[in-house]
């Protein structure tokens, strides 16, 4: 699926005359930089504008079977090297999301907006119910959230159980011909073993990594800052873990890897590509750079490719392996 970049609202892309095409699981993106799940919710009105600024694909907020209010405030706080959040997988549920998708697909701009839909559930059967309900819509792939670190029974508890994760992937694959991405918990210690099992279960790509289970305490009130007490750590602090995980996965699996975690600059993205990522996702950087983030990343990546005499992005993927 090739997406044309809009002429207006180009932001930091004004000086970028060349795209950085990437083929991923049977579809083509103009740029290897994606918006990570959960960053801007389900902002359909904003999605075309994000793409026009150089975002290769948008991953939606994770959608569950039923509406979920999530946790009460405070749900997010800054820490020394990133952010800590516990939103609680708040989402409108698959029925309301389907209604919103129907409305969005009536907008001509939807055809130029590459979407990946993130879903979560508490069982293989419910994952399959959601994917079956959503499969009729025109999006690129499913991303299975197997790795939320702060919601009981639906997140990393599933991703940490290889037998259960395999059943989830198998169940979803039976409902769709779209590619199925598995999002990996950051807590997995043996990335190679996890990746091989997930690949064997039929996953078309691995997204690594999700946020890391963490906590911060207010020393004045002597209480955890987040209402849920435990949250997910994102930002610069987790980048070395993400890069290491991608590196280990690349040596173990043949399916593509999407790197995510702590990417704030083009140099950070290049680290992930050299480790073996085919694409990267950006989350926390949106808090400071917002829409200009993608243009700056793409410009830096493009210049690095030229400077190091790579003829395309594929040549750079995994170049740190010897």
- Among candidate residues 25, 55, 148, 279, the one labeled active-site is 148
Cβ-based neighbours of 308, under 8 Å, separated by 6 or more? 316
Tell me the three state secondary structure of residue 215: coil
CA-closest candidate to residue 183, choices 266, 117, 271, 268: 117
Assess whether 25 carries a catalytic annotation: no
Q: Could you tell me if residue 47 is left (phi over 0), alpha (psi between -120 and 50 degrees) or otherwise beta?
A: alpha
Length of the chain: 322
Strands in 209-275 per DSSP E? 212-214, 217-218, 223-224, 231-234, 257-260
Tokens standing for 290?
């917002």
Tokens standing for 280?
């990267």
Sheet holding 76-79, edge to edge: 76-79, 82-85, 231-234, 212-214
Output the CA torsion sign for 190, 193, 194, 196.
positive
Q: b/e string for 256-293 if b means 16 or more Cβ within 10 A?
A: bbbbbbbbbebebbbbbbbbbbbbbbbbbbbbebebbb
Q: Which residues belong to the active site?
A: 148
């Amino acid at each position: 699926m090739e997406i044309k970049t809009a002429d207006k609202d180009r932001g930091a892309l004004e000086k970028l005359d060349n795209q950085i095409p990437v083929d991923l699981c049977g579809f083509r993106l103009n740029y290897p930089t994606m918006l990570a799940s959960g960053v801007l919710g389900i902002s359909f009105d904003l999605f075309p504008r994000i793409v026009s600024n150089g975002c290769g694909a948008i991953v939606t907020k994770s959608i569950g079977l039923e509406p979920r209010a999530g946790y009460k405030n405070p749900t997010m706080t800054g820490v020394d090297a990133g952010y800590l959040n516990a939103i609680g997988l708040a989402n409108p549920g698959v029925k309301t999301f389907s209604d919103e998708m129907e409305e969005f697909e009536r907008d001509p701009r939807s055809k130029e907006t590459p979407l990946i839909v993130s879903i979560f559930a508490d069982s293989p059967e419910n994952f399959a119910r959601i994917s079956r309900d959503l499969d009729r819509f025109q999006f690129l792939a499913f991303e299975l959230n197997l790795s939320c670190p702060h919601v009981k029974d639906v997140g990393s508890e599933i991703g940490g159980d290889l037998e259960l994760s395999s059943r989830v992937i198998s169940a979803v694959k039976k409902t769709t011909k779209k590619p199925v991405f598995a999002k990996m918990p950051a807590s997995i210690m043996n990335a190679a073993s996890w990746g091989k099992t997930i690949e064997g279960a039929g996953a078309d790509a691995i997204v690594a990594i999700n946020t890391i289970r963490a906590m911060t305490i207010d020393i004045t009130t002597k209480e955890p800052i987040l209402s849920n007490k435990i949250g997910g750590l994102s930002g610069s602090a987790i980048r070395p873990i993400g890069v290491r995980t991608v590196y280990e996965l690349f040596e173990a699996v043949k399916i593509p890897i999407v790197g995510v975690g702590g990417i704030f600059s083009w140099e950070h993205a290049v680290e992930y590509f050299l480790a073996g990522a085919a694409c990267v996702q950006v989350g926390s950087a949106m808090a400071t750079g917002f829409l200009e983030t993608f243009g700056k990343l793409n410009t830096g990546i493009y210049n690095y490719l030229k400077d190091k005499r790579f003829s395309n992005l594929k040549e750079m993927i995994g170049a740190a392996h010897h």
